[in-house]
Amino acid sequence: MNKHCNVVVPALLALLLAGCGGSADNTAAARLASPNRLAGSTAAGVAAAAATTWTSVKWGGGGYVTGLIYHPTSANVQYARTDIGGAYRWNQANSSWTPITDGIGFGAAEARYHGVESIALDPTNDQLVYMVTGMYTFEGNGRLYRSSDRGDHWTHVDLPFPVGGNNSGRAIGERLKVDPTNPSTLFYGSRTAGLWKSTDSGQTWNQVTSLSSVKLTQDQVNALGGSAMGVEALMFDNSSVGGGQPTWIMWAAIAPDYANAAGLSSTLYKSTNGGYSWTPVAVPSQVAGYYMPHIVRTNDGAFYVVFNKHAGEGASGPAYLYKFGGSYNNTWTLLNSSSSAGYGGVSVSGTGATARIALSVTGWNNTSQALQLSDNGGASWREIEVGMPHNPNETASGWLDDVEIDPSNRDHISHVYGGGVWETRNASAASPTWNLSVTNLEETATLAVVTPPAGTPYKFINSAGDIGTWLQTDLAVRPTKGPNSNWSNGNAADLAWSDPLYIAGTGVANWSGAGGFGFWSGDGGSTWNNFASLPAGAQANTSHTGNIAVTSRNNAVWAPANSVPSYTTNSGASWTATNLPALPVVGQGWDRGYRLAADRNNPNKVYAYDSGGASWATAGKVYVSTDGGHTFTLSQGSVAANLAPNAWGDTSMAVNPNAEGDIWLADGSAVYHSVNSGASWTRINNFAPANGIAGASVIALGKAASGASYSAAVYVVGVINGVWGVYRSDDAGASWTRFNDDAHQFGGIGVMAADWNTYGRIYVSGTGRGLFYTN
């Protein structure tokens, strides 16, 4: 399961993390809602983008795919939406997924639009795609994106209602619907503001007040646990409508949370005049007040409706599947029920007594069922997934909240889960074979990445939310070396530069609820041991706003979030607090921490950077240790530099392993460089905040260009002359080249490391997009 409990770009706010036993580094929430400069991609006075390619580092899935959308008539035209990682289009030619939300419209200021709540396809034009995005309803109104070339290019309009692509209940059926006979008319079932309609292909929207004019306040949403389901679905009955005419008969499913707030008498309504008026429809008393996460209408006018008592992904039972006669009769027929687990999705191929029905079972309350199949219209059922062959040999359980039968091949059935997509192409077999369908679908959330010296037998150490910590030895193969394969967060890791087979890391034991833990390996990740003890603050403060620095084998300094760092000289058998000052609280639920870096030339030197914690806090400071991180002294040079105060995720520090005392720092506003262990700092004036985006948020050093005047290539994520991007300098910051382009923005970049084997290779994380590397 992937709950995306600690996604960073640079951070995705307290509401999500609070549900995971942590709180957030609330890095510039205002920035997420600010416009990004999209035109004029090369800043004045900056060289054009370097020639490079961007390739995903292999993990395979790793995140929650919340919906699969097929075109109804064009074979193999399929899309996948995710909760934090944007959207993908299926590529039938090579059986892989193509990301379609990495470029223009998805820059650093637009990270929250990587949360995709719904996708709709024009049934009369298989090139036309609509997509509604917005990460959380509390962040404000969402966006509608429109593409006329299957997602290769997008335009967008701002919507007049909030959108919650990563709120609870994000895998219910598609809220966005295109009128099949009059496709310039769109409807949207919102979470908090009722039903909306557009008659100009989504350019303008009006609330369908004939159903309800109620708009939930944030206080009302908070009282519901932070997520409202609202209008869950709209279904068209266009059986007697000619082409070009609007569909007059439609049905709206209303979640009980919104129905109660709006004073509606039912959770199902019908309109016979295109939404100008509505009539309540009685549902079976057994499911009165239940949620309806998925509804399917077949060509004979029948509706197949999932009813769950509880809302959200992985909901527990009771749950029921009913068939409803719709416009032809008001008969409800019970087809299946579950007392323990909830039902996820439903998909139907065919009609009547020979209809094939696929019904997914969500959550963990019934491990004997995952996907139920009926080939006789629901008269009988069989399990087609639990106990069947899976490649890889993993358990497909958890959030199975959407299932789809391929409209062009009823033996091809796919469903979502917390780690991506499973599919079978022989559903009719007595023992169907299931395969992960996640090639080039990368949705992990990297929290930290560190690269070793040239010649080390691994490329980097990846610390990520939900999947934990892993050593990547082959960029094209899923890694196998890590401290454990349990559900965990990897928060940070480091290595001994002169002895890189020694590694230490920190994380969160999600699988057991035990909180923070630490681990080390002395043989390059072949074997691992947990720290025998933890420093003060490490178990309870599980936010990623902390890190660890390794000075030499057995010796490390750990800075847990919101805590005074401690050091160990025996691989975690014991810890001793440093003399660094305690960090004052800068805001409720607002995590902070020290950034640590060991000098790679002199392991006795360790640098600790306090970023201030928030933009309204006190100035940043750097502390220097000359005894391996045991005691620290304030760098008066950093005080004189008057470093801008900023949140953890807007700041960064890196050291040059080729020169002692050579430190680079990004304080969220500008870049600073010290060549004397922090005694003095030179400000690099090229970078500055713009459009709500941090001026310089991430910095990394890697192999220098041949013949370069400086011993390392310097990479900065930031803004020069109003243009956000990744910038590279080969001359210690005297000049800069934009290293990415507008097609490679990834919803912003949260972490970055540079390679010491290959000049020009960096590793970066996008918003829920895993890791990329450049060539």
221: which DSSP letter? H
At 311, list the tokens.
């809302």
Distance between the two ends of the chain, CA-based, in angstroms? 32
pLDDT score for 178: 97
At 563, list the tokens.
């805590």
R_g of the chain computed on alpha carbons = 27
- Mapped onto helix, strand or coil, the DSSP state of residue 610 is strand
- pLDDT tens for each residue of 150-172: 999 999 999 999 999 999 999 99
Burial 475-485 (b: 16+ CB within 10 A, else e): beeebebbbee
pLDDT score for 398: 87
Cα distances (Å, whole numbers) of residue 747 to 11, 32, 100, 350, 440: 12, 10, 11, 40, 17
The residue to which tokens 């990744």 are assigned: 726
pLDDT score for 12: 39
The CB density around residue 524, as the number of other CB atoms within 10 Å, is 18
**CA within 13 Å, CB half, 555:** 16
Spans in the chain with pLDDT lower than 50: 1-40, 51
The residue to which tokens 């789809």 are assigned: 404
pLDDT score for 453: 98
pLDDT score for 327: 77
